[in-house]
Structure formats: structure tokens, C-alpha cells
DNA sequence: GCCAACGTTGGC
DNA sequence: GCCAACGTTGGC
């Protein structure tokens, strides 16, 4: 069981829109980076991912679940990249801001802090537990 | 809106 | 296959 973190600009696709899709979920398309692609491919059905809002908010707002493993991204004309389907799993009671993450020494190694540009990242079990706690879950 | 960090492209 | 130029992301 691996844990992940996916990023979205709320102006493009927000948590609320994801929630509105319900159990059916939505294709997580638009990844055009090979490191992120590798992470997408490694995702297994049923695994969980933090849902992070970049630019606006800069906070983790909830948890999504992978409901379909990697397949070719229909929005990619070059046919090199893949996407997965995810659905909203659980909202945080309180969102965990980037500021709060940076203020927590145990989270200093998070990819979110170290590789801020990577849009699909792995999260360690320790980080997962702590961030869930900070989010009120 | 600026700029640093980083990924990608293309000429050699 | 290196590396300079360029484009993009995302925090501030």
C-alpha cells in the first residue's frame, strides 16, 4: 500500500468539483512530466492520495482514492502520457496549509516541500499519518 | 507580477 | 551525449 499526493490548481479543477463527481470519480489528466508519469503508473486501485490545491489556497484539502489504474491520457495527443481515475474519499476537517507543513520539522522531507513543481508525488506512511492528524482525521 | 527552480528541446 | 536556451510551474 502506497500513499500519494496529487496537485491541482483550484481554478482548473478543485476539490469541490471532485466531490461533486461522487463515487464515479474523474480522470486525472494533464500530467506532462515523466517523473509524475512514473508515479501515476505505480498507483494501484484502492490506494489513497492527498489532494493539494496549488497557487490558490496552497493547502491539502482532502483525500482521494484511486479507482482506476493508469491508462493512456485521452487529452495527450502524443500518446506518451497516462492518467488515472480518482474519486473524493474524505475531506479534511481542517485543511493543512503549506505553511503548516513547512513549520513541522517531521515533514521537512516531503516532496511537496523539496520538489514543489512535481504534480504527482509519493508520500511516506509516517508523513501520511501525521498530515491526516493535522487535517483532523 | 516576479522570479527561482527545474524540466525539456534542439543544435552541435 | 552535452549543454545552452527556452518554457512552465508555483511560491511569494
Residue A77: its pLDDT value, please? 82
Rounded CA–C1' distance between A117 and C8, in angstroms: 10
pLDDT value of position A90: 97
**Per-residue model confidence (pLDDT) at position A92:** 98
- Local mean pLDDT, 10-residue blocks, chain A (137 residues): 95 95 96 94 98 96 97 90 96 97 95 94 97 97
Q: Establish whether the CB of A18 is closer than 7 Å to any nucleic acid atom in strand C.
A: no
Nearest DNA or RNA nucleotide to A35 (CA to C1'): B7
- Residue A107 makes CB contacts below 8 A (sequence gap 6+) with A101, A113, A127, A130, A131
Beta carbon of A116 within 7 Å of strand C? yes
Q: What is the per-residue pLDDT for A79?
A: 86
Say if pTM beats, i.e. exceeds, 0.85. Answer: yes
DSSP string, A38-78: HHHHH--TT-EEEEEETTTT-EEEEEEEEEEEEEE-TT-TT
Say which nucleotide is closest to residue A57, CA to C1' distance.
Answer: C11
Q: How long is the CA A35 to C1' B9 vector, in angstroms?
A: 17
Q: Is the dihedral of CA A69, A73, A79, A80 positive or negative?
A: negative
User: Between the CA of A33 and the C1' of B11, what is the distance in angstroms?
Assistant: 23
CB count, 10 Å around CB of A18? 23
Task: Tell me which residues from 41 to 60 on chain A have a beta carbon below 7 angstroms from nucleic acid strand C.
Answer: 54-55, 58
Asked whether A119 and A6 are in contact (CB, 8 A), the reply is yes
Amino acid A19: pLDDT: 97
Across all strands, nucleotide nearest A116 (CA–C1'): C10
The predicted-structure confidence for A22-62, as pLDDT tens digits, reads as follows 999 999 999 999 999 999 999 999 999 999 999 999 999 99
First to last CA, chain A: 19
Contacts of A84 by beta carbon, 8 Å cutoff, 6+ apart:
A27, A28, A40, A43, A66, A68, A69, A70, A71
Q: What is the pLDDT of residue A87?
A: 97
What's the pLDDT score for residue A71?
96
Amino acid at each position: 500500500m502506497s500513499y500519494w499526493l496529487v496537485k491541482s490548481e483550484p481554478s482548473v479543477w478543485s476539490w469541490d468539483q471532485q466531490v461533486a463527481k461522487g463515487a464515479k470519480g474523474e480522470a486525472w489528466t494533464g500530467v506532462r512530466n515523466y517523473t509524475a508519469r512514473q508515479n501515476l503508473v505505480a498507483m494501484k486501485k484502492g490506494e489513497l492520495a492527498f489532494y493539494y490545491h496549488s497557487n490558490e489556497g496552497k493547502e491539502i484539502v482532502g483525500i482521494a482514492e484511486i479507482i482506476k489504474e493508469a491508462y493512456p491520457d485521452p487529452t495527450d495527443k502524443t500518446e506518451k502520457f497516462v492518467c488515472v481515475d480518482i474519486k473524493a474519499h474524505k475531506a479534511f476537517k481542517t485543511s493543512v496549509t503549506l505553511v503548516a507543513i513547512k513549520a513541522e520539522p517531521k515533514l521537512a522531507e516531503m516532496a511537496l516541500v523539496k520538489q514543489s513543481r512535481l504534480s504527482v508525488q509519493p508520500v511516506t506512511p509516517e508523513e501520511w499519518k501525521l498530515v491526516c492528524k493535522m487535517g483532523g482525521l
